[in-house]
Amino acid sequence: MTGKTPMPRALPALALLLVPVFSLAVAGCATLPPAPLAPAPAKAVDAARFYSGVWREVARRPESLTDGCVAGATEYTVIDETHVKVLDTCRVGTPAGALKDIGGTGTILDPGTNAKLHVGYRVFGIFTVGRDYWILDHGDDWFISTDPTFTRLYLYTRPDKDTPELRERLAARAKALGYDVSKLEYPAQP
């Protein structure tokens, strides 16, 4: 006996199993985010005017987070030159249904242009989930938003400006920007 504690036989096998897992984890940290697929925002946003008040979500691409949601809206409040308070709300099932909401702080990623926003949503008050939104195009009373990968799409109007004609124009503009608008859903509004 040499005075050394013998190495358990399972340790070398465990080490061999962990090498691929560790390699994948390190490789995952080294990868870059996917290149944006969405077109660049068409024009600058006046942050003080745009990121204030309520906007009504009149159309969106379906996703699990919004299943059953109708009467969606986003309320923005400017905090400072590069930060915005964001509160997303909807009603469950009908415009009179239970309120569902999630909020967080948005950071303007392109100060001066103000069309790219990263929102850190607080989930259960414990952790933060981040989403990036690009304002692809906008007018005084409407905007078209997507994520950089062009997976999500949202059409918004000011609450008192929502009309079927404006929705059609927004869908046509989103189509011209390259989005498949056949996937849009138009949830019930109040």
Are the beta carbons of 70 and 56 closer than 8 angstroms?
A: no
User: Based on the structure, what is the number of domains in the chain?
Assistant: 1
Residue 158 within a domain:
yes
pLDDT at 51 over 50: yes
Q: Is 158 exposed, middle or buried (0-12, 13-18, 19+ CB in 10 A)?
A: middle
- Torsion sign (Cα): 38, 44, 45, 47: positive
What range does the domain containing 131 cover? Answer: 47-183
- The CA distances from residue 84 to 8, 63, 65, 78, 126, in Å, are 56, 24, 22, 5, 20
Residue 122 belongs to a domain: yes
Model confidence pLDDT, tens digit, residues 122-136? 888 889 999 999 999
Task: Tell whether the torsion through CA atoms of 68, 74, 75 and 76 is positive or negative.
Answer: positive
- Establish if 2 belongs to a structural domain: no
Instruction: Decide if 131 contacts 103 (C-beta within 8 A).
Output: no
In a domain, 78, yes or no: yes
| CATH, residue 177 | 2.40.128.20
Instruction: At 39, list the tokens.
Output: 């077109």
Lowest mean pLDDT among 31-40, 77-86, 161-170: 31-40
Euclidean distance between CA atoms 171 and 190, whole angstroms: 21
The encoded tokens of residue 8 equal 């358990």
pTM score? 0.79
Q: What's the mean pLDDT in 33-54?
A: 86
Residue 36, in any domain of the structure: no
Question: How crowded is residue 179: how many other Cβ atoms within 10 Å of its Cβ?
Answer: 20
Burial of 69 (0-12, 13-18, 19+ CB in 10 A): buried
157 occurs within a structural domain: yes
